[in-house]
Amino acid sequence: MKNLIVILFLLIIGCTDDPENQKGFHTENIILITMDGVRWEEVFFGADPNIITDSAMVKDLEGTHSEFWKEDANDRRQTLMPFLWKTIEKKGQVVGNKTKGSVMQLINPYLFSYPGYNELLTGFNDDSVNSNAKELNPNMNVLEFMNQQSGFENHVAAFSSWDVFDWIINNERNDFTINSGGFPLMDSILTPRQKWMNTFISDLPYPGYGTGVRWDVFTFEYAFEYLKLNKPRLLYIAFDETDEYAHQREYGKYLNAIQKLDSYIKQIWQWIQSQKHYRNKTTLIITTDHGRGKYIDGRWGSHGEDVPEAKYVWAAIIGPDTPSLGEITNADTISTNQIAATITHLLGYNYKSNQPVGKIIIKFIKPQ
């Protein structure tokens, strides 16, 4: 009888759907989202007055002006990213407004995508990771670290518009879901919508000059369906159209893409907060892999070692353990290499990789 009571007790404990956070945080799930190469200038000031009036940079001057121009910079940024500025800023934090003493930067000197994503996901710069080529990343990243922790196995997934993520995250070493570019989603269980997208995803033309970047709407749909079906505890979504349009010096399309991503993020967050499984137990982090140049000579479209201002980036965070400090001003400089350790800390773990990693971003977390 005693044994039966013990078994019943263990069953009841085991049945609670609240996994214990080892550090006592409320966060049980994290969604990390990146918007490739979105400048901190647009995030904090909306449409740039120089670029939006330059006919070499905007095909539809009139339409883009009426859609995105407001005299006041606060109105402009709210027009461009209404969810970021009406919800995340109110309840969370937005960092990276250099003009107000909040600096976020890359530590890698390359200032382009693969080294930026390596820094974000592994927590350090690696000088051997210095090209965008499809080479398997030798470094342990935060997704695979969490996938190895109790309660997280196969509750980690990544969806990206750029197909190089299969190499950045390393799909040879990792068997959690990584779906990217023109590749269909190969999971054994799929939603009807995912099955439908799989029938044509390899045949679509790309939005950019290069190959391997699919339209962000498909990354959003694949990931959102996955979220609803599989309830991951760490989900990474990497969007990319913004970078493509910036390289093409298509400022109107770049602004449209940013606004669209803001609406995707809103849909994800509203769904999260409508679900008992996720509500008030989920932290959302949004950032980018690099900045871009200033307006002069079209440099706003560029980034890389010869565009030093591309080292400045930004981030936004909202969740149950994050103080509502809004737009951060006059703060210590933070770096992209600190995000990985911050993610695992919020999930109750101390991040370790094959090299020393960036420190936890203290400001993102309420004192306990």
Residue 250 in contact with Zn ion, rule: CB under 5 A: no
In which element (H, E) is residue 51 found? none
Instruction: Select 225 or 289, whichever has its Cβ closest to Zn ion.
Output: 289
Q: Between residue 151 and residue 180, which ones bind Zn ion under the rule CB under 5 A?
A: none
| Contact (CB, 8 A) for 336 and 288 | no
| Contact (CB, 8 A) for 357 and 341 | yes
Shortest reach from residue 168's CB to Zn ion, in Å? 11
Instruction: Select 36 or 216, whichever has its Cβ closest to Zn ion.
Output: 36
Give the number of other CB atoms < 10 A from CB of residue 150.
8
Residue 243 in contact with Zn ion, rule: CB under 5 A: yes
Pick the closest to residue 44 from 77, 70, 72, 69 (CA basis).
77
Residue 113 in contact with Zn ion, rule: CB under 5 A: yes
Q: What is the DSSP letter of 162?
A: B
Instruction: Select 165 or 220, whichever has its Cβ closest to Zn ion.
Output: 165
Shortest reach from residue 36's CB to Zn ion, in Å? 4
**Start-end of H helices in the chain:** 2-15, 40-45, 61-68, 73-80, 82-83, 89-91, 113-122, 142-147, 165-168, 192-198, 216-230, 241-247, 251-272, 339-346
Which neighbouring-strand residues pair with 263? none
Instruction: Select 162 or 278, whichever has its Cβ closest to Zn ion.
Output: 162
Residue 301 in contact with Zn ion, rule: CB under 5 A: no
Instruction: Select 245 or 278, whichever has its Cβ closest to Zn ion.
Output: 245
Instruction: Specify the 3-state DSSP secondary structure of 213.
Output: strand
Strands 104-105, 93-95: pairing is unpaired
Query: What track of x and - describes contact with Zn ion for positions 31 through 70 (by CB under 5 A)?
Result: -----xx---------------------------------
Residue 241 in contact with Zn ion, rule: CB under 5 A: no
Using the Cα atoms of residue 346, residue 350, residue 355 and residue 357 in order, give the sign of their dihedral. positive
Binding segment for Zn ion (CB under 5 A), chosen from 77-85, 198-206, 250-258, 288-296, is 288-296
Instruction: Select 111 or 227, whichever has its Cβ closest to Zn ion.
Output: 111
Instruction: Select 233 or 292, whichever has its Cβ closest to Zn ion.
Output: 292
Residue 262 in contact with Zn ion, rule: CB under 5 A: no
Residue 289 in contact with Zn ion, rule: CB under 5 A: yes
Shortest reach from residue 289's CB to Zn ion, in Å? 4
- Write out the residues near Zn ion by the rule CB under 5 A: 36-37, 113, 243, 289
